């Protein structure tokens, strides 16, 4: 039996444009939610790597063991895979992956960042908030309650996309403070960030409200920054009815980076 | 901040239609496979050297690692190469060789190259106290192991990038991984080349004999290096190992 769930494998496509695009998926999910975007960008001639974050695409219990530094190490790996195969590396991420893409740009020479549906702080989703209040003061409680079911209500516009989405159906409880810790680091690093940034966020995102995108936009140090609102989509904007628009915006961003002198 | 240490980065060298996946050993780093990777890239192969979970960061991370994480990283590399190459050859050093064998049990690589892979942890105390190790690791997270060096190339030894301590919990994981490997050998069918060094102080020759005998592959060979010690892809016998690897890859992918 393979360790990685079928459909949750990372992917690598080779192009000759000179740009390497690193795609980073979100918390509790897998490279699957980035694959169609990856194919689109590969179709434009770019080298594309959709990495798998540690603890993802395997078993929910794996996430309870991990620290946020493990995820950061994995996006560094992604950068290093691409740096030798391309002249410029653009990092793109969804949700937690967006935060990781931003943090990567704070430590390595990333040419640009596309951050999609990215949180600025731990979302105020009721269950997550409850877990946070429970866990930050009393972390050992995570040993008693290892998983929390995800809410059955969701913000998907496309029910099929929800059905097809490969993601753990529980929140690994001990991983929640790790998300919080990573976002704390993000808030520290944002003002020092200089890489060009494109923020994409669904107006109707119920997982990570549009306020998060506004906060990132306001506090990021990059002078070249743009925030584009996506209609007709829930949180996972890469698989929703308006995904084509997301793919086009991401591809245009890469083209602009390509034209820029190195 | 950077989490992965300098020179501990994984690598990808694009090339031709044949992919080579390189997997480093326990407590090591992609660095120990880099010379071999560069050599194979010069031969026209596409080369990808993965970094195993909790390696090349800080040794404390190793206590959180499970052998399944390492196998998942090997699978990651395999899937990444499958997107570029029509055939993938998997190459592993020491514990990386054990991961190579487990990968070949699930997938169908064109061939496998196993270097200096043990069948058991040399220190047989680990076998006896295996169930206690998770608990021991809580009070004694890491230990420093005394041990003689078997390096012939002292310059290469200085460049070696690895943890200088063993995370106690991870010894249990290595133990379990090797057990899983021993039980799986018969189900591995891929053409195989084993490379072992006569001067290896860590892995006894019977490991090579055991793997060769138990392997389910019908095409299997062993090469004994006269020069160098355990670190086959870095030590004095490396050129011979690289050439044998390239020749093996060309033969099985022809």
Q: Is residue A5 part of a domain?
A: no
Chain B residues whose CB is inside 8 A of the A72 CB are 1, 3
Closest residue by Cα to residue B12 from A250, A49, A204, A243 = A49
Spell B70-94 as b/e; 16+ CB within 10 A means b. bbbbbbbbbbbbbbbbebbbbbbbb
CATH code, residues B11-121+131-253: 3.40.50.1820
Give yes or no for A232 touching B (CB within 8 A).
Answer: no
B3, A72: Cβ pair inside 8 Å?
yes
Q: Which residues of B touch A56 (CB under 8 A)?
A: none
CB contact under 8 A, B83 and A81: no
Beta strand extents in chain A (DSSP E only)? 11-13, 19-24, 47-51, 88-94, 112-116, 147-149, 170-172, 197-202, 225-230
Interface pTM (ipTM) of the complex?
0.95
- Pick from A66, A84, A185: CB nearest B11: A84
Q: Which of A49, A52, A77 sits opposite B4 (nearest CB)?
A: A77
pLDDT of the residue at A162: 87
pLDDT tops 70 at residue A183 = yes
Q: What is the pLDDT of residue A29?
A: 96
Q: Confirm whether A61 is domain-assigned.
A: yes
Instruction: Say yes or no for a CB contact (<8 Å) between A54 and B69.
Output: yes
H/E stretch holding B19: strand B18-23
For residues A61 and B145, what is the distance between their CA atoms, to the nearest angstrom? 31
Query: Phi and psi of B22, rounded to 5°?
Result: -110, 130
Instruction: Tell if the CB–CB gap between A80 and B71 is shorter than 8 Å.
Output: no
User: What percentage of chain A has pLDDT greater than the value 70?
Assistant: 92
pTM above 0.90, yes or no: yes
pLDDT computed for residue A140 by the predictor: 62
Q: Which pLDDT band holds residue A127 (cuts at 50, 70, 90)?
A: low
- Cβ of B68 within 8 Å of Cβ of A62? The answer is yes
Read off the tokens for B100.
């190579």
pLDDT digits (tens, 9 = 90+) for B96-118: 999 999 999 999 999 999 999 99
B12: chain A residues, CB-CB within 8 Å = 12, 80-82, 84-85
Over residues B29-50, the pLDDT tens digits come to 999 999 999 999 999 999 999 9
Instruction: Tokens 């049990």: give the residue.
Output: B105
Find out whether B47 and B8 touch, Cβ atoms under 8 Å.
no
- Least confident span in A128-142, B79-93, B149-163: A128-142
Pairing of strands B192-197, B220-225: parallel
Of A31-35, B87-91, B156-160, the range with the lowest mean pLDDT is B156-160
- Positive or negative: CA dihedral A210, A213, A218, A223: negative
A168: helix, coil or strand? coil
Per DSSP, the three-state class of A15 is: coil
The shortest CB-CB distance from A2 to any of B2, B69, B106 is to B106
Share of chain B above pLDDT 70, in %: 100
pLDDT recorded at residue A139: 59
Confidence grade of residue A103 (pLDDT, cut at 50, 70, 90):
very high
How many domains is chain A partitioned into structurally? 1
Contact state of B75 with A51 under an 8 Å Cβ cutoff: no
> A108 at the B interface (CB within 8 A)?
yes
Domain regions of chain B by residue span: 11-121+131-253
A136's tokens: 């930050």
Nearest CA in chain A to B102: A2
Domain containing residue A36: CATH number: 3.40.50.1820
Contact between chains at A1 and B69 (C-beta distance less than 8 A)? no
Give CA separation, B50 vs B20, B95, B156, in Å: 11, 13, 21
Q: What is the pLDDT of residues A204-219, one digit of tens each?
A: 998 899 999 999 999 9
Q: Is residue A183 part of a domain?
A: yes
How many cross-chain Cβ pairs, A to B, lie less than 8 Å apart? 94
Contact B119, B207 (CB under 8 A): yes
Those residues with Cβ within 8 angstroms of residue B53's Cβ, 6 or more apart along the chain or in another chain: A54, A70, B61, B65, B69, B70, B72, B73
Q: With an 8 Å Cβ cutoff, is A80 touching chain B?
A: yes
Does any domain span residue A84? yes
- Asked if the structure places residue A112 within a domain, the reply is yes
Nearest-neighbour CA in chain B from A206: distance (Å): 31
In a domain, A259, yes or no: no
Whether A132 shows a pLDDT value over 80: the answer reads no
In which residue are the tokens 């992609």 written?
A: B30
Cα of A239 to nearest chain B Cα, Å: 21
Dihedral sign computed on CA atoms, order A98, A104, A106, A112: negative
Helix or strand or coil: residue A202? strand
Q: Does A13 touch chain B (CB under 8 A)?
A: yes
User: How far is the C-alpha of B44 from the C-alpha of B246, rounded, in Å?
Assistant: 10
> In B, what residues contact A, Cβ < 8 A?
1-4, 9-14, 48, 50-51, 53-54, 57, 61, 64, 66, 68-69, 71-72, 75-76, 79-81, 83-84, 106-107
B221 has which bridge partners? B193
What mean pLDDT do residues B238-245 have?
Answer: 98
Give the closest-approach CA distance of B149 to chain A in angstroms. 30
Average pLDDT over residues B184-211: 96
- Is residue A204 within 8 angstroms of chain B, CB to CB? no
Q: Please indicate if any CB of chain B lies within 8 Å of the CB of A241.
A: no
DSSP B211: H
Section A56-74 average pLDDT: 96
- CB–CB contact B64 A67 (8 Å): yes
> Shortest Cα distance from A47 to chain B (angstroms)?
10
Residue A144: pLDDT band with limits 50, 70, 90: confident
Go through chain A and tell me how many residues it has. Answer: 262
**Mean pLDDT, chain A, as a whole number?**
91
Evaluate whether residue A147 is within a structural domain.
yes
Q: Beta-carbon neighbour count of residue B146 at 10 Å? A: 4
Q: Which of B7, B42, B79 has the highest number of chain A CBs within 10 A, making it the mutation to test binding with A?
A: B79
Q: Which domain covers residue A148, as residue numbers?
A: 11-254
Q: For every residue of B96-143, which 3-state class applies, written as one string?
A: HHHHHHHHHHHCCCCEEEEECCCCCCCCCHHHHHHHHHHHHHHHCCEE
Hey, of B83, B105, B138, B183, which one would you mutate to test binding to chain A, going by the most A CBs within 10 A of its CB? B83
């Amino acid at each position: 039996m393979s360790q990685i769930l079928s459909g949750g494998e990372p992917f690598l496509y080779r192009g000759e444009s000179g740009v390497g695009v690193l795609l980073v998926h979100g918390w509790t999910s897998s490279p699957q939610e980035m694959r169609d975007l990856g194919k689109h960008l590969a179709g434009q001639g770019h080298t594309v790597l959709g990495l798998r974050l540690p603890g993802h695409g395997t078993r929910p219990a794996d996430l309870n063991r991990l620290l946020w530094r493990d995820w950061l190490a994995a996006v560094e790996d992604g950068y290093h895979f691409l740096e030798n195969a391309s002249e410029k590396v653009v990092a793109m991420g969804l949700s937690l992956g967006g935060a990781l893409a931003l943090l990567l740009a704070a430590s390595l020479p990333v040419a640009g960042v596309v951050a999609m549906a990215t949180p600025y702080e731990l979302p105020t989703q009721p269950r997550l908030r409850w877990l946070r209040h429970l866990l930050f003061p009393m972390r050992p409680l995570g040993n008693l309650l290892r998983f929390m079911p995800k809410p059955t209500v969701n913000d998907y516009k496309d029910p099929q996309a929800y059905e097809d989405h490969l993601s753990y159906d529980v929140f690994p409880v001990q991983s929640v403070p790790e998300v919080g810790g990573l976002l704390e680091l993000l808030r520290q690093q944002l003002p020092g960030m200089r890489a060009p940034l494109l923020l994409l966020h669904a107006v109707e995102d119920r997982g990570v409200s549009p306020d998060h995108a506004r906060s990132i936009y306001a506090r990021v140090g990059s002078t070249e920054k743009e925030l584009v609102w996506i209609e007709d989509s829930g949180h996972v904007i890469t698989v929703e009815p308006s995904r084509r628009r997301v793919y086009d915006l991401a591809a245009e961003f890469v083209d602009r980076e390509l034209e820029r002198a190195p | 901040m950077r989490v992965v240490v300098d020179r501990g980065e994984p690598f990808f060298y694009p090339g031709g239609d044949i992919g080579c996946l390189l997997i480093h050993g326990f407590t090591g780093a992609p660095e120990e496979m880099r010379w071999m990777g560069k050599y194979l890239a010069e031969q026209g192969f596409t080369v990808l050297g993965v970094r195993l979970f909790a390696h090349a960061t800080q040794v404390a991370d190793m206590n959180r690692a499970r052998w399944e994480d390492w196998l998942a990283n090997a699978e990651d590399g395999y899937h990444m190469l499958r997107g570029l190459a029509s055939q993938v050859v998997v190459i592993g050093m020491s514990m990386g060789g054990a991961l190579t064998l487990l990968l070949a049990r699930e997938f169908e690589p064109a061939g496998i190259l196993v270097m200096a892979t043990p069948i058991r942890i040399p220190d047989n105390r680990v076998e006896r106290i295996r169930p206690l190790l998770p608990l021991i690791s809580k009070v004694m997270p890491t230990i420093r192991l005394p041990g003689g060096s078997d390096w012939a190339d002292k310059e290469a030894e200085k460049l070696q990038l690895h943890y200088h301590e063993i995370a106690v919990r991870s010894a249990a994981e290595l133990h379990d991984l090797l057990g899983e490997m021993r039980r799986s050998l018969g189900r591995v069918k891929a053409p195989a080349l084993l490379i072992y060094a006569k001067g290896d102080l860590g892995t006894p020759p019977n490991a090579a004999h055991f793997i060769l005998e138990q392997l389910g592959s019908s095409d299997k060979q062993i090469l004994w290096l006269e020069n160098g010690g355990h670190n086959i892809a870095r030590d004095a016998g490396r050129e011979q190992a690289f050439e044998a690897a390239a020749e093996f890859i060309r033969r099985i992918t022809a």
